[in-house]
Structure 1
Amino acid sequence: MKGTIPCGRWAGIPIGIHWSALAAVALIAYMVAFSVLPGLTPGLSAAAYWMAGTAAAVLLMVSLLAHELAHTATALRSGMRVRAMTLWLLGGQTELDGDAPNPRTELRIALAGPLASAAVGGVFAGLTSLAGYAGWPPVVRACLAWLALVNLILAAFNLLPAVPMDGGRVLHALLWRRRSTDRATAITALVGRLIGSLFIGFGVVILFGGDLVDGMWLGLLGWFLLAAAAGEEVNAVRRNQFSQVFVRDVMAPADTIAPAWFTVDTFLEQVASAAHRRVFAVIDFSGQPFGVLSLAMLTSVPVERLRTARVADVCRKLADTVVVAPDSTLADLLAALQRRGGAVGPALVIDNGTMVGTIGDDDIARAVELALLRQSSGAAAVAVRP
């Protein structure tokens, strides 16, 4: 997510705070300081309310992080990879590296967050009782009670059956047990659109009733749910479409090779200048796959190094290259690229140890565009290369 501030790592997974979350902290602090606390603990100074409100807002963000950590820990225990955790305006987001392999795993990951929020709410409720026995200041008890209530509300709210909320994932997992994942996605998206429309409708009613802030907030949330439901449905259709296109129909044959021992200027003169392509498979002196080289990579090589640098020095090594089999699908390829950080190609196609093709940015873009055009026109799946 763009505009995210790195805040460290947990189990090797980057944790970030989006700038919108910082705005949310300020808004929550203001709301608690001047809408919640004065009614519960009257008579304090503005500075005291601000300090208590800010502390409550920060602890709420920590609670949201605990929610996301529960998702992450469950995903890791289930054998899945997690790319990042991010706090933002509407809560938190855990970026999984792909979809859950089965309904049971998806259900466990989805329920982990609300259960964590409920547990955090219980902890704050216990601290509220302890504060009463220990004689802590009333403003502290009020903040703890508010945090307990909000976390319990968040646990329940997150179980609404609308994607991307946890309840939407729960509904999808339950439907997936009896139907195909595509059909489950379609039903979940429909429910999400209905809930989003209801939120917008209630927001409009509240807005015309004179409550500007709550009305706009409900409307924003409803719009977000509508957009998320539509995006989920589109992604499902695209995944299905991409799964019908095979790598062998996307790749360019590896009939033009870049020897790893060539200098860059020799490669340009003897290989690249005569080849009508931008991506080349690289082999070592024994003829084994060494990596992949694109003309775009060479643009970062200083001109003075072109005579001395070797292809082996500037190409992407095999260990750092996405490698797929010719029978893999375009969906498999895009997922593999995403696991590498979302970068586009180039990629290598290897069949039983033999390098048979390369896939560059243009090949991927053309395959994706043709797949989407077939989706729009309803045409049957055909090979994407002439």
Structure 2
Amino acid sequence: MKGSMSLGKIRGIRIEINISWIVIFSLVTFMMASSYFPTLYPGMNPVIYWSLGISIALLMFVSILLHELSHSIVSIHLGINVSSITLFIFGGLAQIEEEPNDPVKEMKIAIAGPAMSLLLFALFTLLSNLLLFLGITEIYTVPFSYVGGVNLILAIFNLVPAFPLDGGRVLRAILWYYKGSLQFATKVASSMGDMFGYFLIFIGLYWALSGNVINGLWFVFIGWFIKQLSQSSYQNMMMNDLFTKIHVREFMTRDLVVVKDFTSVEDLVENYFYRYKYVCFPVVRNESVLGLVTIDSVKKIEREMWNQTSVGAITELLRDDLVAAPDATVISAMKKLFSNKIGRMVVIEDGKLIGIISRTDILNYIRVYSELHQ
């Protein structure tokens, strides 16, 4: 995610923190130190207030991280890889590499997060009461009791049956299991998410107009965010479903312009890039595909060396993520297209070049399809 920095890895999962979380961390610390603790426990050293405020912010950070890690660990256990977890303004987001292929897996992954939050609620509440029992001054137990309550609220909120919240995923898994249709289940769960988003926006506007401006605007922001995610989730599911039914052969560009490997870079620029307006060309050597040459490859060569350098010398040689089979599904090709740096793949059948496919082709298709099926 843009605007994020890496904190390291846990069980092979990259942990990132978005700059928006730093804003929330600062606000929570400030509110606790300047208002909450001084109001409840007046007359104490400000250092204590700020230390406790930072403690609460850190415990909230750990709680949200554990919530997302529980989703991720269950996913990995079920054979679904998770590349990263990003903590941002609304909580956390686990980057799961593929959607579960059956409702039981969906249910297990979805329920893991709220289950962790309920466990943390119980542990923090128990720890707070234990410290009080041992005679610890009450103010020092507040971070545990407060964050325990936050975890309870987090669990309850996430169990609302509105996609993309965890409860919405549980609802989708149940409908998917009994109806046998992921498309139907996603449509219903996303509709619930849409309605819940509007509900939060309405409550937020009511509070804002009643004088509780900060909390009101916050609810409006969360409601809008959930509404947008619910709509985009359904659209993404429709696209994934569509692209699993379309094969590369039906989608690829067949009219190709190829470049011989012995062509000079100067000739490539003048007679190919300028003439055809493409940013990438397949390169062939003795009728066999050598690889792909791009504008970026040319830019690495000094201008005065263009007429002395052959295209073959700057070609990106073929590798697995640059080649697609004509009978492969578009969804499988997309994974390669969006992971390689070129954004294009050649289509080869029986050793012969028969087409090319690009990210732009897919994005344009999505744009047209979305316009026609709004």
Same fold (TM over 0.5): yes
**Per-residue displacement from partner, 1:42-82 (whole Å, max 9, x unpaired)?**
43233321221112112211211111111222222222222
Q: Which amino acid aligns with 1:336?
A: K
Q: Which amino acid aligns with 1:200?
A: I
**Per-residue displacement from partner, 1:286-307 (whole Å, max 9, x unpaired)?**
x655432234542343324434
Question: Per the alignment, in what secondary structure is the counterpart of residue 306 of structure 1?
Answer: helix
Question: Residues 20 and 89 of structure 2 are in contact (CA less than 8 Å); yes or no, is this contact kept in structure 1?
Answer: yes
Supply the distance in 1 between the matched residues of 2:191 and 2:65 (Cα, whole angstroms). Answer: 29
Match in the other structure for 2:249: 248
Q: Is 2:184 the partner of 1:186?
A: no
Supply the distance in 1 between the matched residues of 2:29 and 2:196 (Cα, whole angstroms). Answer: 29
Match in the other structure for 1:24: 24
Q: Which amino acid aligns with 1:159?
A: L
Q: Which amino acid aligns with 2:211?
A: G
CA shift at 1:250, angstroms?
2.9
Match in the other structure for 2:5: 5
Supply the distance in 2 between the matched residues of 1:244 and 1:375 (Cα, whole angstroms). Answer: 17
CA shift at 1:320, angstroms?
6.2
Match in the other structure for 1:380: none
CA shift at 1:17, angstroms?
1.3
CA shift at 1:154, angstroms?
1.0
Supply the distance in 2 between the matched residues of 1:230 and 1:98 (Cα, whole angstroms). Answer: 19
Q: Percent identity?
A: 29
Supply the distance in 2 between the matched residues of 1:53 and 1:274 (Cα, whole angstroms). Answer: 63
| TM-score, normalised via structure 1 length | 0.84
Q: Which amino acid aligns with 1:252?
A: T
Q: Is 2:29 the partner of 1:14?
A: no
Match in the other structure for 2:234: 233
Question: Residues 279 and 359 of structure 1 are in contact (CA less than 8 Å); yes or no, is this contact kept in structure 2?
Answer: no
**Per-residue displacement from partner, 1:106-136 (whole Å, max 9, x unpaired)?**
2222122112222222332232233224433
Match in the other structure for 1:379: none
Provide the aligned length of Structure 1 versus Structure 2: 373
Over 3 Å counting, the alpha-carbon distance change for 1:101 and 1:324 in structure 2 is farther
Supply the distance in 1 between the matched residues of 2:200 and 2:224 (Cα, whole angstroms). Answer: 8
**Per-residue displacement from partner, 1:273-296 (whole Å, max 9, x unpaired)?**
8878553334567x6554322345
Match in the other structure for 1:281: 282
Q: Which shifted more, 38-47 or 227-236?
A: 38-47
Match in the other structure for 1:351: 349
Supply the distance in 2 between the matched residues of 1:254 and 1:281 (Cα, whole angstroms). Answer: 12
Q: Which amino acid aligns with 2:228?
A: A
Match in the other structure for 1:375: 373
Match in the other structure for 1:204: 205
- Where do 4+ consecutive residues of structure 1 move more than 6 Å? 269-276
Match in the other structure for 2:172: 172
Question: Residues 324 and 350 of structure 1 are in contact (CA less than 8 Å); yes or no, is this contact kept in structure 2?
Answer: yes
Match in the other structure for 2:162: 162
Q: Which amino acid aligns with 1:150?
A: V
In structure 2, runs of 5+ residues without a counterpart are none
**Per-residue displacement from partner, 1:132-189 (whole Å, max 9, x unpaired)?**
2443343221111111111122122111122222111111122111231111111011
Question: Residues 110 and 166 of structure 1 are in contact (CA less than 8 Å); yes or no, is this contact kept in structure 2?
Answer: yes
Supply the distance in 2 between the matched residues of 1:83 and 1:188 (Cα, whole angstroms). Answer: 26
Question: Per the alignment, in what secondary structure is the counterpart of residue 44 of structure 1?
Answer: coil
Match in the other structure for 2:358: 360
Question: Residues 196 and 223 of structure 2 are in contact (CA less than 8 Å); yes or no, is this contact kept in structure 1?
Answer: yes
Question: Residues 297 and 314 of structure 2 are in contact (CA less than 8 Å); yes or no, is this contact kept in structure 1?
Answer: yes
In structure 1, runs of 5+ residues without a counterpart are 377-386
Supply the distance in 1 between the matched residues of 2:276 and 2:193 (Cα, whole angstroms). Answer: 51
Match in the other structure for 1:129: 129
Question: Residues 9 and 15 of structure 1 are in contact (CA less than 8 Å); yes or no, is this contact kept in structure 2?
Answer: yes
Match in the other structure for 2:117: 117
Supply the distance in 2 between the matched residues of 1:228 and 1:255 (Cα, whole angstroms). Answer: 39
Over 3 Å counting, the alpha-carbon distance change for 1:36 and 1:260 in structure 2 is same
Question: Residues 189 and 233 of structure 1 are in contact (CA less than 8 Å); yes or no, is this contact kept in structure 2?
Answer: yes
Question: Per the alignment, in what secondary structure is the counterpart of residue 217 of structure 1?
Answer: helix
Q: Which amino acid aligns with 1:323?
A: V
Over 3 Å counting, the alpha-carbon distance change for 1:166 and 1:270 in structure 2 is same
Q: Which amino acid aligns with 1:213?
A: I
The root-mean-square deviation of aligned C-alpha atoms, in Å, is 3.0
**Per-residue displacement from partner, 1:184-217 (whole Å, max 9, x unpaired)?**
1110111111111221222233233332222222
Match in the other structure for 2:141: 141
Question: Residues 65 and 87 of structure 1 are in contact (CA less than 8 Å); yes or no, is this contact kept in structure 2?
Answer: yes
Supply the distance in 1 between the matched residues of 2:227 and 2:51 (Cα, whole angstroms). Answer: 37
Over 3 Å counting, the alpha-carbon distance change for 1:289 and 1:103 in structure 2 is farther
Question: Per the alignment, in what secondary structure is the counterpart of residue 231 of structure 1?
Answer: helix
| TM-score, normalised via structure 2 length | 0.86
Question: Residues 125 and 144 of structure 1 are in contact (CA less than 8 Å); yes or no, is this contact kept in structure 2?
Answer: yes
RCO greater where, 1 or 2, for CA within 8 Å and sep 6 or more?
A: 1
Match in the other structure for 1:80: 80
Question: Residues 17 and 87 of structure 2 are in contact (CA less than 8 Å); yes or no, is this contact kept in structure 1?
Answer: yes
Q: Which amino acid aligns with 1:205?
A: Y
